[in-house]
Structure 1
Amino acid sequence: MGNQTSVNRALTLINEGILSGVDSITLEQLAEKLGITSRYLRELFKTYVGASPKQYALYQQLMFAKQLLHQTTMPITEVAFAAGFNSVRRFNEAFAQELKLTPSAIRKQHAAGSMKVQANSINLKLSYRPPFNWAHMRAFYQLRAVDEMEWLGDNSYGRTITLGKVRGYFTAVHNSEQSCFDINIVFTDTDGLLQLKRIVSHIRRLLDLDADLIEVEARLSLLGNALPKINTGVRIPGVWSTFEAGCRAILGQQVSVEQAVKLLKLLTAHYGERVTVGGQEVLFFPSAEAISKAELTELKMPGLRKSALRALAVFVSECPDSDVEQWLKIKGIGPWTVNYVRLRGLSAPDCLLADDLVVKNQVLANISSDPQESELIDIIHAKDKAAIKSYYLEKSQLIGQAISPWGSYLTFQLWSQQ
């Protein structure tokens, strides 16, 4: 369980390009980030991935480069740097050694269908494996959308993005016939293309495009009366950053989703920044620095939650690369908040929010509808709150073990059926 979690975290970071490009770190630094030794990290990859971390990272770079060569008219030099190679020579060598091809040969094969790249803009197709319940994801985003920072159409979702010094926005249009999203990414300047691999990885995470829902739902189907009906194709709608997810979670403590979104809109409108990108004025989520200095008088909520919001902003400003588990040190941030951040800010696959009220009520309602669950039915009739709490604690732990490593998908299944 712990080993798989470490591997998943490493894969996510590598997919984002942490071992490639001008801002890359060493394997030893990656291992330190994961809290393990580099030797142990290599052993885990040999067991779970069948390749070393560097081999896996190189493969991901090459696959992304192939996608750019297939789908765009970007010059080969720009493709090399966008894919995280620090020189064209190394790019060509890697293609020849690993794929037995040259970049120019791939470009010639696919030149006719390639899309033109404008100075600060790029179009790509990002595929997924069906099923994909777009109606569910769209409705989830729509209910929580912040005006000017996010926008939705019948088949599309878009939002502003920040990654280091790179800013811009993307719009993803769902193409169910081709099982993909047509993505348009617009940057404030051409430097955004140097972070393209990381940005595309973030977009794939937001839309949960890499999930194998066939495997996930096969496991969900084994839960019996805890989940009697599966809402097929439900995925994890992500949030762009852990900081934004943390702010959403704090604002959502002990209030309805609608109330939380009102607070979120106020926070973003007052402390976010409006910038014209590609001829369109858009709104960016406030930085941790901006919120750390804010009075937050516009937010009508308890002072303790305002303090927690500012404290989180201060912590993230000072420790931008900290693990979200360290947020538990902050007064006003507990396990539910951190788990929500893991669920949506990191898109961790195994995060069953057992303490969430909707999850708890759905599980108990599903189980109590089974006549064979006489123990639960009796304590519900007796209105024995302590017994119900004890029963649910034990049952949720068993369910979490049974569904691992797909607890996040159970959370969203239960939320979708409330």
Structure 2
Amino acid sequence: MCSEAEGVLTNESCRRARLARDPRFDGVFFIGVLTTGIFCRSICPATPPKEKNVRYFSTAIEAANAGLRPCLRCRPDSAPGSFAWKGTDTTVERALSLIDDGFLFGDSPGSLESLAQKLGITSRYLRKLFADKVGTSPNKYAQFRQLMFAKQLLHQTDLSMTQVGLAAGFTSIRRFNEVFQQTLALTPSALRKSRGSRQSELSHEGSEIRLSMQFSYRPPLNWQKQLDFYRLRMVEGMEWEADLEGYSRSFQLGDVKGFFEAKHDEVKHRFNVIIHLVDPQALPVLSEVVAQIKRVLDLDADMFQIQTSLSSIGIIKNSIVDGLRLPGTWSAFEAGCRAILGQQVSVVQATKLLNRLVEANGERLTISGREILLFPTPLAIANASLDELKMPGARKAALNAFGTFVSQHPDAPVDDWLNIKGIGPWTVAYAKMRGLSDPNILLCSDLIVKKRVLKRYEALQSSETDLKANLDISYKTITQQLEQSISPWGSYLTFQLWNLE
């Protein structure tokens, strides 16, 4: 239930938001309608129920655990992801990410104990964290995520029942039907019929698959700024614009290869996304592909909460760019390569180097009639001559060593990259911010960030006569204070500082 004690919203705030159908709170809380036994999003188009018949929930799974089923009109499965504590509890956030990627379900599911071991905690403590933060157990969360993804596919696509079950991580269509009906109080086929007739969203082209979906977000979103950021750093053949308003790029996830096209629908606060896959057998990792696309576009960000925190920072509170998000890369490895190539050169020069790197070492293939380039694998970078790059030999050696390390240790934490000669804290921090979408990276060592922080700080603290005399010490103190005050949204402060005029 919404409450200030939990650091979320009061019931009165939830009431006002639902009556206004405020999209800024879509997915931040859910509305349980006790008289009908359903739960809805804050933007549900149905006639608002009386307040006495309403109960508010922080998450969809809490509403489901209370015996409520998801609304067929507003479809809670399509709401942007949200947890009030997101960014403040990295252990639970990492656990959720692993579960969303299929750790506890699919062909070779891991055990709860192996998940806890991967997180460096006991299974008992993991259960306690989930009970406190998520309101359910890890296994029940995993099953609920499977069902919500399946429900989304049933609503938005024409995948067969077997394909939907497979994509959602069920190894048996019988088990899929059974769990779906038990939890959501209707069968998959009944839900598919309830949506009515529609134009097919699924097509096969030879051995390829093309799938259309819609991903919602909470406004504000400054898509023009985000697109401008991508545009300046685009790699030809790997990234491109769609009708001047969209963003498309190729990707590789394990053995799965493809590309996506994302077009912004500002009116409906969503992106219409077409996913192209080389092989229909890739369906079992579709949920991970979807999660990656949403992360790259930063669609689950709660900008209302983030900008409320940013407004408390004196050096930018009067200059905040509304709706500024984190434009991600497909992987931490790609972000690391971008950072190495960007050392001590301009963005334009770094992008030229990146284009040459991908052109010389990336795999070229044709999908859905379009010739694309994939970002080079770590092994390809490890073995590359890099003769195409006009840059110091030390940086080439660092790039080769980086590829070697990641190819040999694909699951190593990004912080371990500091053991590689030529890779420092800035490169690691940049990779975390753009490759992992870590929300709490204030790039203090970035020259632009440093100049703009000091300039703004001097304007606010003009009476500090010893500021320039103790520049390094003072800057360290200033940024430590900024990191504490803006946590866990340091990455958003970094992008705000980069966008200051």
Alignment correspondent of 1:126:
215
Alignment correspondent of 1:44:
129
Query: What is the CA distance between 1:217 and its match in structure 2?
Result: 0.3
Query: What is the CA distance between 1:122 and its match in structure 2?
Result: 0.3
Whichever structure has more helix as a proportion of its residues is 1
Judge conservation of contact 1:202–1:240 (CA < 8 Å) in 2.
Answer: yes
Alignment correspondent of 1:395:
478
Secondary structure of 1:182's counterpart equals strand
Task: List aligned pairs for 1:11-410, cutoff 5 A.
Answer: 11-113=96-198, 115-119=200-204, 120-153=209-242, 154-370=244-460, 372-375=461-464, 378-379=465-466, 383-384=468-469, 387-410=470-493
Query: What is the CA distance between 1:216 and its match in structure 2?
Result: 0.5
Whole-angstrom distance in 2 between the partners of 1:130 and 1:46? 30
Give the counterpart letter for 1:240 in structure 2: W
What is the aligned-residue identity percentage?
51
Output the TM-score relative to the length of structure 2: 0.79
Give the counterpart letter for 2:486 in structure 1: I
Query: What is the CA distance between 1:303 and its match in structure 2?
Result: 1.4
Whole-angstrom distance in 1 between the partners of 2:250 and 2:108? 22
Output the TM-score relative to the length of structure 1: 0.95
Q: Structure 1 414/229 Cα, relative in aligned 2: closer, same or farther at 3 Å?
A: same
Farther off after superposition, 8-17 or 304-313:
8-17
Farther off after superposition, 18-27 or 162-171:
18-27
Secondary structure of 1:64's counterpart equals helix
Secondary structure of 1:167's counterpart equals strand
Query: What is the CA distance between 1:28 and its match in structure 2?
Result: 2.5
Farther off after superposition, 260-269 or 23-32:
23-32
Whole-angstrom distance in 2 between the partners of 1:291 and 1:225? 41
Query: What is the CA distance between 1:3 and its match in structure 2?
Result: 7.1
Farther off after superposition, 19-28 or 247-256:
19-28
Alignment correspondent of 2:32:
none
Instruction: For residues 6-64 of structure 1, give each alpha carbon's deviation from its aligned partner in whole angstroms, at most 9, with x where no partner exists.
Output: 11222222223332222533222322332222222222222221122222222111111
Whole-angstrom distance in 2 between the partners of 1:114 and 1:105? 18
Judge conservation of contact 1:121–1:184 (CA < 8 Å) in 2.
Answer: yes
Secondary structure of 1:365's counterpart equals helix
Secondary structure of 1:141's counterpart equals helix
Whole-angstrom distance in 1 between the partners of 2:114 and 2:343? 35
More contact order relative to length (CA 8 Å, sep ≥ 6): 1
Give the counterpart letter for 1:103 in structure 2: P
Secondary structure of 1:113's counterpart equals coil
Whole-angstrom distance in 1 between the partners of 2:261 and 2:365? 17
Give the counterpart letter for 2:109 in structure 1: S
Instruction: Tell me how large the CA RMSD over aligned residues is.
Output: 1.6
Whole-angstrom distance in 1 between the partners of 2:317 and 2:476? 17
Whole-angstrom distance in 2 between the partners of 1:3 and 1:407? 12
Give the counterpart letter for 2:112 in structure 1: L
Judge conservation of contact 1:348–1:408 (CA < 8 Å) in 2.
Answer: yes
Judge conservation of contact 2:310–2:316 (CA < 8 Å) in 1.
Answer: no
Judge conservation of contact 2:105–2:170 (CA < 8 Å) in 1.
Answer: yes
Give the counterpart letter for 2:331 in structure 1: S
Q: Structure 1 3/177 Cα, relative in aligned 2: closer, same or farther at 3 Å?
A: closer
Whole-angstrom distance in 1 between the partners of 2:189 and 2:104? 25
Judge conservation of contact 1:70–1:114 (CA < 8 Å) in 2.
Answer: no
Secondary structure of 1:234's counterpart equals coil
Farther off after superposition, 1-10 or 302-311:
1-10
Whole-angstrom distance in 2 between the partners of 1:352 and 1:129? 23
Whole-angstrom distance in 2 between the partners of 1:346 and 1:157? 19
Alignment correspondent of 2:36:
none
Instruction: For residues 209-236 of structure 1, give each alpha carbon's deviation from its aligned partner in whole angstroms, at most 9, with x where no partner exists.
Output: 1111001001111112354311010111
Query: What is the CA distance between 1:70 and its match in structure 2?
Result: 0.5
Farther off after superposition, 322-331 or 269-278:
322-331
Alignment correspondent of 2:496:
413
Give the counterpart letter for 1:92 in structure 2: N
Structure 1 runs of 4+ aligned residues shifted over 3 Å read: none
Judge conservation of contact 1:3–1:44 (CA < 8 Å) in 2.
Answer: no
Farther off after superposition, 9-18 or 347-356:
9-18
